[in-house]
Amino acid sequence: MTARCRACSGAVLHTVLDLGTVPAADDFPPAGLPVTPAETTHPLRMVRCPHCELAQLAEDDTVAAEPRGVEPRALRDQAADAIARVDAAGLLRGHTVIEFGSPHGGSWLPVLAERGCTEADAARADLVVDCFGIMHEPDQRAAFAARAAATAPDGLLLLQFHSLAAIVAQRQWNALRHGHFAYYSLHALSLALTAAGMGVTAAWEFDLYGGTVLVAARRSPTEPDRAVREILARERELVTPESLHRLQRFVDDHVRALRNWLIDAAAAGQRVYAYGAASRAVALLSLAGAHQGLVAGVADAAPAKRGRRMPGTDIPIISPQDLIAAAPDRVLLTLPDLLDEVSTELPELDGRWFVDDPCGPRRGSK
């Protein structure tokens, strides 16, 4: 358990979301291994520091497993879009780059190489990139300091993060997971960067994951652009202690809605499968009491996950081809961002997609 704030070492932390004990988010046991009560004994709780306002993981008694996922097309497309926007703003200067990667995979280096950037062979670079990587660092103060230290004096630091404002506005309580140690508002991120000797100068918003923000930061102080000011103003309305506490109520509503949907489908004789053995689906399926009688299988594009099962359940992970062969009546898509991609790649399942939603699964449409 963290006794102090991961960013500012503040001694007072307030709990805003407590999921009790759930399975580890990235530990997918072999399908033949029986489910044990010990699988669901890992505390999962979000706390917030009133001083620097960072929302963060309170404790993590899990051991990070080797990443097994496959980078989705939506993430690759968004990376190209992000770099194009930074370039259009005239900020993509210099020729060397250092990337702080995410354990989930995905890299901006191939796209940057097309624009003439090469990986730095020194401790500093003209451009430092972190796309969803920094949230995986238990020591947030040290993580921001490391990225600042890697940025050349006149260089640019690009940080992309899943917006806490989006998490609150879209009731994404299941964004909370083991291994994700921080959940950023732009305000909290700006304070952490300031403590590391850098300042935010520009920002861009994307629809990925329901709302992500890319910021550009420099050492020399400059006036933040209009987008930064607008995001901060919106956050003042959306991210409050009261709104964060409402996430707790959304947990019960979401779990109940999914459970009822699954039970109704089973009662109607409909066979339900899911697509996306994602970390955010782990706590949801476990808390909903899902089992193979309600969800016959979860398909995933990652070969390394097949032959395994969803943590805390007996639901096997299968291939997309096996999903097609099963001819399900309904397919629950656990990651809404994948709808366009899976609809295109799996046309045989047209009309059967249902997107997971906090108010209950809704029929998917591109």
Q: How confident is the model at residue 1, as a pLDDT?
A: 46
Kindly state the tokens that stand for 9: 């070492």
Q: How confident is the model at residue 68, as a pLDDT?
A: 56
Q: How confident is the model at residue 122, as a pLDDT?
A: 87
- What is the distance between the alpha carbons of residues 34 and 12, in angstroms, rounded to a whole number? 41
The pTM (predicted TM-score) of the whole model is 0.92
Instruction: Output the DSSP codes for 48-65.
Output: E-TTT--EEE------PP
- What is the distance between the alpha carbons of residues 5 and 248, in angstroms, rounded to a whole number? 21
Q: In terms of DSSP H, where are the helices of 22-108?
A: 73-88
Q: How confident is the model at residue 74, as a pLDDT?
A: 76
Q: How confident is the model at residue 264, as a pLDDT?
A: 97
Phi-psi sector, 185: left (phi>0), alpha (psi -120 to 50), beta? beta
Q: How confident is the model at residue 17, as a pLDDT?
A: 96
- What is the distance between the alpha carbons of residues 168 and 53, in angstroms, rounded to a whole number? 15
- What is the distance between the alpha carbons of residues 365 and 77, in angstroms, rounded to a whole number? 20
H or E segment and range at residue 330: strand 330-333
Three-state DSSP at 202 gives strand
- Extract the residue ranges of the chain whose pLDDT is less than 70: 1-2, 65-71, 366
Q: How confident is the model at residue 274, as a pLDDT?
A: 98
List the end-to-end C-alpha distance of the chain, in Å, as a whole number.
Answer: 42
